[in-house]
């Protein structure tokens, strides 16, 4: 368990939450808050994907499809139905979870990693093309714009507004979702459920022989993982207020998020969070170089696979182990 969560994971999470709480009181401009908001949303996405990729050991490559489903379904229901995004994000997340079950079923019978990778990748391509081709509803690649933002919240005299242009409110919202989702995931994964996941990952046949119902657990993990990713997509949609199929379900999204998880550490609880922070900030700093961004992600993946396949989270752990092992 130590190698997944590190020492005192709740304390680490509390520390991250405290840092997040301080940020709005720092003299930061809106642009930096925007970058941090994107980081928080991508961190939820990456942690959600890590459930199947790292925790259960199912090497899926199509989770950007669930991000797109969460984003588009929530946006469509809110836009055409006139329903508050506070409600529609759950519709988006639920739809993504259902999609997770649908693609989870054919995957159940497959134990070969390449099959899983290719089938999930093909699924993501189907989802991208569907949103791209349903032009009457989504306007295709022209972009689905005019997505409503979260309704403002009134606290006493203060009104908290959301969406691009309302940096503080958007940041606070993303931070609340980030902390809530991570507390929930931590509670779940440190419980019996987490043990079952790791048992399936490390010794599938042995787990099965001990009475673990493999297919049920895999479907559950798929649905949960897809639901979390879908939720992050829905939050993203009502934040940026415009979606295009290629930007949310295209190969760049896959590469970006995969790089975050690998750089941070596949199968480490906090890995994706560190990876998301590092790469969101690094890629913003390289924005003026434009075309170099994807080169950074690509070479970053190769570098980490070769030098530190366990990611940033493991580097820190190894150091700590070294200092404590002597006592």
129 binds other proteins (CB under 8 A): yes
215 binds other proteins (CB under 8 A): no
Torsion sign over Cα 185, 189, 190, 191:
positive
315 binds other proteins (CB under 8 A): no
Candidates 27-35, 113-121, 147-155, 200-208; binding stretch for other proteins (CB under 8 A):
113-121
Candidates 16-24, 101-109, 173-181, 270-278; binding stretch for other proteins (CB under 8 A):
101-109
* Residue 66: CB minimum distance to other proteins, A: 15
The pattern of x and - marking residues 10 through 49 that bind other proteins according to CB under 8 A reads: ----------------------------------------
Contacting residue, 15, 81, 106, 165, with other proteins by CB under 8 A: 106
Contact 304, 315 (CB under 8 A): no
The pattern of x and - marking residues 271 through 310 that bind other proteins according to CB under 8 A reads: --------------------xxxxx-xxxxxx--xx--x-
Looking at the chain, how many residues does it have?
A: 327
Q: Which is nearer to other proteins, 135 or 320 (CB)?
A: 135
Contacting residue, 1, 2, 126, 176, with other proteins by CB under 8 A: 126
114 binds other proteins (CB under 8 A): yes
Give the angle 161-46-103 at the CA atoms, nearest 5°.
Answer: 110
Contact 167, 30 (CB under 8 A): yes
CA 1 – CA 142 distance, rounded (Å): 47
Hey, is 221 helix, strand or coil? helix
Q: Report the run of H or E that residue 153 belongs to, with start and end.
A: strand 153-155
Closest CA to 92 of 118, 72, 117, 113: 72
109 binds other proteins (CB under 8 A): yes
122 binds other proteins (CB under 8 A): yes
Non-local CB neighbours of 199 within 8 Å, separated by 6+ positions:
206, 207, 210, 212
Contact 70, 233 (CB under 8 A): yes
Q: Which is nearer to other proteins, 110 or 187 (CB)?
A: 110
* Residue 63: CB minimum distance to other proteins, A: 14
Site for other proteins in 57-86 (CB under 8 A): 59, 61
Phi, psi of 320 (to 5 degrees): -65, -40
Q: Which is nearer to other proteins, 141 or 151 (CB)?
A: 141
Closest CA to 33 of 153, 235, 160, 174: 174
CA 135 – CA 283 distance, rounded (Å): 31
247 binds other proteins (CB under 8 A): no
Q: Which is nearer to other proteins, 165 or 298 (CB)?
A: 298
Contacting residue, 123, 150, 162, 171, with other proteins by CB under 8 A: 123
Contact 43, 236 (CB under 8 A): no
Hey, is 222 helix, strand or coil? helix
Q: Give contact residues for other proteins (rule: CB under 8 A).
A: 59, 61, 103, 105-106, 109-110, 112-115, 117-119, 121-123, 125-126, 129-130, 132-133, 251, 254-255, 258-259, 262, 266, 291-295, 297-302, 305-306, 309
């Amino acid at each position: 368990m130590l190698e997944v969560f590190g020492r005192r994971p709740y304390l680490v999470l509390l520390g991250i939450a405290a840092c997040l709480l301080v940020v709005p009181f720092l003299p930061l401009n809106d642009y930096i808050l925007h970058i941090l908001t994107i980081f928080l949303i991508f961190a939820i996405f990456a942690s959600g994907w890590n459930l199947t990729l790292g925790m259960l050991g199912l090497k899926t490559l199509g989770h950007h499809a669930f991000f797109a489903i969460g984003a588009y379904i929530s946006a469509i229901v809110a836009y055409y139905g006139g329903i508050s995004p506070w409600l529609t994000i759950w519709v988006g997340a639920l739809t993504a979870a259902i999609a997770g079950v649908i693609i989870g079923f054919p995957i159940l019978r497959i134990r070969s990693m390449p099959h899983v990778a290719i089938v999930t990748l093909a699924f993501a391509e189907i989802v991208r093309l569907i949103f791209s081709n349903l032009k009457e509803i989504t306007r295709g690649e022209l972009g689905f714009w005019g997505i409503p933002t979260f309704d403002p919240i009134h606290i006493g005299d203060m009104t908290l507004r959301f969406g691009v242009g309302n940096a503080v409110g958007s940041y606070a919202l993303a931070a609340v979702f980030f902390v809530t989702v991570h507390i929930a995931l931590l509670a779940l994964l440190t419980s019996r459920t987490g043990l079952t996941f790791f048992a399936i990952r490390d010794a599938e046949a042995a787990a099965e022989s001990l009475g673990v119902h493999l297919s049920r657990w895999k479907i559950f993990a798929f649905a949960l993982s897809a639901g979390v990713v879908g939720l992050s997509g829905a939050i993203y949609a009502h934040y940026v207020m415009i979606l295009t199929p290629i930007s949310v379900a295209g190969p760049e999204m896959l590469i970006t998020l995969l790089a975050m998880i690998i750089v941070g550490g596949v199968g480490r609880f906090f890995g994706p969070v560190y990876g998301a922070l590092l790469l969101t900030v690094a890629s913003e700093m390289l924005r003026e170089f434009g075309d170099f961004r994807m080169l950074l992600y690509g070479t970053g993946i190769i570098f980490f696979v070769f030098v530190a396949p366990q990611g940033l989270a493991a580097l820190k752990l190894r150091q700590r182990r070294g200092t404590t092992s002597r006592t």
